[in-house]
Structure 1
Amino acid sequence: MTRTTPPRPLDVEALFPELAAHRGTTTRLHPRPGSPGVSDSSVGGPLLWPVDEPWPVCTEPHRRGRGRRPADIHRARRVLATAWARDPASGPTEEERRLLTELGREHRVAGIEDTDPLPMIGVAQLYRRDVPDLPAGPDGCDLLQVFWCPFDRHGRTGYGMSLRLLWRRSWEVDEVPATPPLPEVVGYEGYVAEPCVLHPEQVVTYPFAGLLPEELEARIDAWEEALEEEAEAAEAEMDYDEEGEDSGGHGAGHDAGHEAGHETEPPAYQYDLSIPPGWRAGGFASWHLTDPSPMNCLACATPMELLLTISSSEWDGGSHSWMPQEDRDLPGRLRSAAPTKVTVGRWGLLNIFACPADPGHPHRWSIQ
């Protein structure tokens, strides 16, 4: 099934014509549960990996002998999904709860050292033929593959992630391993993705507000403040009218108004008009957690461009304006904003950057 992003709540270029000069595109990947193959672009699916090529491993020193089994994580998710689909009100049965407790146990791997090679997890692979905004790889490579270590114990702070991106020419791969390597245990279940097929969709996007010209950013800020003031005034007037109609005063009428959904947030540049949430390729990075940080190539100092965004959520909790139309039509129990089950960072978003001068140069990333 395709995924279609609804039209934006308003035409932002009609309000701010200068934005036309900054307009770009990004490809929303729209991962949804499925059974991808090695020849498909996917999240959490099997990778087109040569049988005679060593699998990526993490050798950075950190504890790696205690955690949850990947198979247990997948099974627990299936149990929960079945339970909630069967009975959204009650959820898992007592027997299912006992099973979930067992599947949630951590296990120890005997005899593993802190620097023993640890198989990294294949997170995603993207074929350029499927993703319009995926840039060309080095030396004609057409397939991007993403790996990470399933433990958060890297870098100077001891809490950073370890990420590896590899490009390859897909037509050069003849045979793939029957069973790719997997770590026996993982330190964090959010690094274990559920198999998802992709439904790429190219949409218009605009830069993060803090990277726009100062005068334009100031005008957008003033416009948003005015909308918020109007919304607050309208809500106050509505509450006053409801209190007047309710013979009980400030009580049933006030609650009814809120339950009826009278409170609606006005459209915001950041959350509704510029950068879509979810997994996507190309476009502009969001810097909603930190101030914009220069991302220059460490090899040649060229300003880098957004390659890929890995996100924990396909649409924002505060605004559903980016929810695809096809998902809106699904029953609530079948609609999930987190189909991949991947969780990254404090707010669940990882931006990966590539050098436009030489895509073979090392990538950089930022967690938001």
Structure 2
Amino acid sequence: MHREDSPGDWWPEGKDVFQLPWCPNVHWDPPAPHADVGPVAAIRRRSSADVTRVLASPPLPVRQEDPDYGHSPVRCTLTPVPLIGVPYPQTLPDEELVRSVEGHVEATGYGSDVIARVAGIKFGGWPTWHLTDPHNVLCPTCSAPCRLLFTVASDHTTGLTVGRWGDFRIFACPAEEGHEYVVDQY
């Protein structure tokens, strides 16, 4: 993803390319800070000026299990669409705003998850909490509350399925770019 396609304050100074290479196989004992039974991913933030060679045909992933089980992305085109995200009502500072968001949630009939869940791939915003109450995801390096960086969400429209119809999420420390990421499958 290029900075021009997904602007926001989550881009480090001097970086304009975001890459997320991942292993498509299920990892039952993944390295920290990855989630159990999920893909192992790496974050690459770089400057496009430093990319001197682009592979015309990237290598195909090596699958180690049943093709219907795992985390194999398929080639697709991303269409960036700017969205206005809303955090969960419990985290809002103003009672009137809380009532307004709760009214919207009730009107949709989809439950509280409707305000943060986006079909497909999402940069930034707020995480969904459809399985637990909202909580802080802490940086493993400094214990600061992390911000949601990236989500791959299961969705019928996009044909994506993560785990048991969940989300693959990456959180980043806002205090320091060099701190570890927190990867989970929710």
TM over 0.5: yes
Mapped partners of 1:222, 1:284: distance in 2: 16
**Shift in Å at residue 148 of structure 1?**
1.8
Task: Please point out which of 142, 148, 151 is paired with 1:300.
Answer: 142
Task: Please point out which of 116, 133, 154 is paired with 1:291.
Answer: 133
- Residue-by-residue CA offset, 1:261-289 (whole Å, 9 max, x unaligned): xxxx75456254x2242211111111111
2:181 alignment partner in structure 1? 363
Mapped partners of 2:45, 2:180: distance in 1: 12
The structure richer in helix per residue is: 1
Output the amino acid matched with 1:277: V
Mapped partners of 1:134, 1:280: distance in 2: 14
Mapped partners of 1:184, 1:161: distance in 2: 13
Conserved 8 A contact 1:134-1:307: no
Output the amino acid matched with 1:161: P
SS in 2 for 1:150: strand
Counterpart mapping for 1:218-297 below 5 A:
266-267=108-109, 270-272=112-114, 274-278=115-119, 279-297=121-139
2:178 aligned with 1:337: no
2:78 alignment partner in structure 1? 198
Task: Please point out which of 129, 141, 154 is paired with 2:4.
Answer: 129
**Shift in Å at residue 208 of structure 1?**
2.0
Mapped partners of 1:362, 1:310: distance in 2: 19
**Shift in Å at residue 191 of structure 1?**
1.9
TM-score, length of structure 1 as denominator length? 0.42
TM-score, length of structure 2 as denominator length? 0.77
Mapped partners of 1:276, 1:158: distance in 2: 22
Mapped partners of 1:152, 1:293: distance in 2: 26
Counterpart mapping for 1:53-68 below 5 A:
none
Aligned-pair Cα RMSD in Å:
3.3
Conserved 8 A contact 1:128-1:135: no
Output the amino acid matched with 1:180: P
Mapped partners of 2:108, 2:185: distance in 1: 27
Mapped partners of 1:291, 1:299: distance in 2: 24
User: Closer, same or farther in 2 for the Cα pair 1:224/1:280, shift >3 Å?
Assistant: closer
Task: Please point out which of 5, 14, 18 is paired with 1:144.
Answer: 18
Output the amino acid matched with 2:150: L
Mapped partners of 1:352, 1:158: distance in 2: 14
> RCO (CA 8 Å, sep 6+): is it higher in 1 or 2?
1
**Shift in Å at residue 346 of structure 1?**
2.0
Task: Please point out which of 28, 38, 48 is paired with 1:154.
Answer: 28
User: Closer, same or farther in 2 for the Cα pair 1:304/1:286, shift >3 Å?
Assistant: same
**Shift in Å at residue 218 of structure 1?**
8.3
Mapped partners of 2:172, 2:53: distance in 1: 29
Task: Please point out which of 165, 168, 184 is paired with 2:46.
Answer: 168
Structure 1 runs of 4+ with >6 Å offset: 214-218
User: Closer, same or farther in 2 for the Cα pair 1:198/1:183, shift >3 Å?
Assistant: closer
Mapped partners of 1:131, 1:222: distance in 2: 28
Conserved 8 A contact 2:23-2:61: no
Task: Please point out which of 341, 346, 356 is paired with 2:164.
Answer: 346
**Shift in Å at residue 352 of structure 1?**
1.2
**Shift in Å at residue 344 of structure 1?**
1.1
**Shift in Å at residue 201 of structure 1?**
1.6
SS in 1 for 2:83: strand
Output the amino acid matched with 2:149: L
User: Closer, same or farther in 2 for the Cα pair 1:131/1:201, shift >3 Å?
Assistant: same
Q: Which has the larger radius of gyration?
A: 1
**Shift in Å at residue 170 of structure 1?**
1.3
